[in-house]
Amino acid sequence: MSILTLTLKDQLAVPLEAEALSPDALGHLSLDEVRAVPLYLGKRRRRIDELFDVAGQPGDELHLRGDLHRVKWIGRGMTRGRITVDGNVGMHLGAHMKGGEIEVRGDAGDWIGAEMTGGFIRVRGNAGGQAGAAYRGSMAGMRNGTIIIEGSAGLEIGMRMRRGTIVIGGPAKDFAGLQMKGGTIVLLRGAEIRTGAWMVRGTIISLAPLPLLPTFAFACSQNPVFLNLYAKRLKAWGISLPYAPHEGCYDCYSGDASAPGKGELLVWRPA
């Protein structure tokens, strides 16, 4: 497979607008054409080869190296291929993406996978807030696809998401699942306050106790059958989700009654 490798030459002092860094935009170009692709460093137009060492062969795989925490919009709207990043990335990674795969071996900024409709994003480190969220004013956040953040995550994870799956390995901050309309958020180490506020549908699963809003009502304790399917799917990504009755059960809460909503919060209670 052809792999194009871009290595950041110097630390960036201002944000780099890099929606061109995706297999869709670069995969069909020659190496010389890739070098000449314009990016905006702050308000200044720069060529890719002014900022990155370019090597390899353009194709369906893009490999980025360096501390890219000021590089925004990587993989925006991508439909195919794979991006791997050795280092940190900035905001809006994979926003609006429709397909393909992104893996970050480092930390990521805010708004990763915002309003995505398909594809797969995996962040090995921590991420900022608003992963899979709706941009301000939009009716819906991510509509499909998967986001896995192995570390911690910031505010408003999955805000207004309609479908898809978000898994957070570390602790999440406030308002996870804010105004959620569908889909699933799995919190392996719980979240801070106001989880599921104004959610109308969808499922939030937490393996750690959650400080619940008073507008969530306890419904029952159970081991939902559908979690078997989820557990198998997550296992393929190396994530363990308990579901067997002898291990414990889930306390199920419904809400948010202030919306009013029919969402469900499943909080794991070990046996």
Partner 1 sequence: MRIIGGKVYDPASGLDGVVKEICIADGRIVAEAAGGRTIDATGMIVFPGGVDVHTHVAGGAINFARAMTPEDHRRTQAFIRTQTGRSGLGGMAPTTFATGYLYAGMGWTTLNEAAVPILSAKHTHEELRDVPIVDKSCLVLMANNEIVLDLLEAGEIERAKQVVAWQIWASKAYGVKAVNPGGVAAWKWGKDAKQLDDPIEGYNKLTPGAIVSGLAQIVEELGLPHPLHLHCNNLGAPGNISTTLETMRRLEGRRAHMAHLQYHAYGGDDWSTMRSETVALAEYFNAHPNMTTDAGAVLFGDTVTITADGPWQHLLYKLTGRKWGNLDVENETGCGIVPYTYRPSNLVNAVQWAAGLELLLLIDDPWRVFLSTDHPNGACFWRYPEIIQLLMCADFRRDCIAKLSPQALQRITLPELDREYTLYEIATITSAGPARALGLPQKGQLGVGADADLVIYEEEADIARMFGHPRYVIKGGEIVIEDGEIRATPHGREFLVQPGYDETIEGFLRPLFEDCYTMSFENYPVELERIEQPEIRDCIAVE
Q: How far is the CB of 163 from partner 1 (least distance, A)?
A: 18
Residue with smaller CB distance to partner 1, 139 or 236: 139
Q: How far is the CB of 137 from partner 1 (least distance, A)?
A: 4
Residue with smaller CB distance to partner 1, 96 or 122: 96
Q: How far is the CB of 138 from partner 1 (least distance, A)?
A: 4
Count interface residues toward partner 1 (CB under 8 A). 5
Q: How far is the CB of 213 from partner 1 (least distance, A)?
A: 20
Residue with smaller CB distance to partner 1, 12 or 95: 95
Structure tokens at 126: 């921590």
Structure tokens at 194: 């106001």
> How far apart, in Å, are the Cα atoms of 157 and each of 82, 110, 161, 165, 207?
24, 10, 9, 11, 16
Output Rg (C-alpha) for the chain, integer angstroms. 19
For 82-140, the DSSP string reads EEEEES-B-TTTTTT--SSEEEESS---S-TTTT--S-EEEESS---S-TTPPPTT-S-
Q: How far is the CB of 3 from partner 1 (least distance, A)?
A: 32
Residue with smaller CB distance to partner 1, 18 or 191: 18
Pick out residues in 118-147 that bind partner 1 (CB under 8 A): 135-139
Pick out residues in 142-181 that bind partner 1 (CB under 8 A): none
Q: How far is the CB of 135 from partner 1 (least distance, A)?
A: 7
Residue with smaller CB distance to partner 1, 13 or 139: 139
10-29 mask for partner 1 (x: CB under 8 A)? --------------------
Can residue 43 be called a binding residue for partner 1 (CB under 8 A)?
no
Omega cis (within 30) before 256: yes
Residue 219's Cβ-count burial label (10 Å; 0-12, 13-18, 19+) is middle
Task: Name the nearest CA neighbour of 177 among 159, 198, 165, 152.
Answer: 159
Contact residues toward partner 1 (CB under 8 A) are 135-139
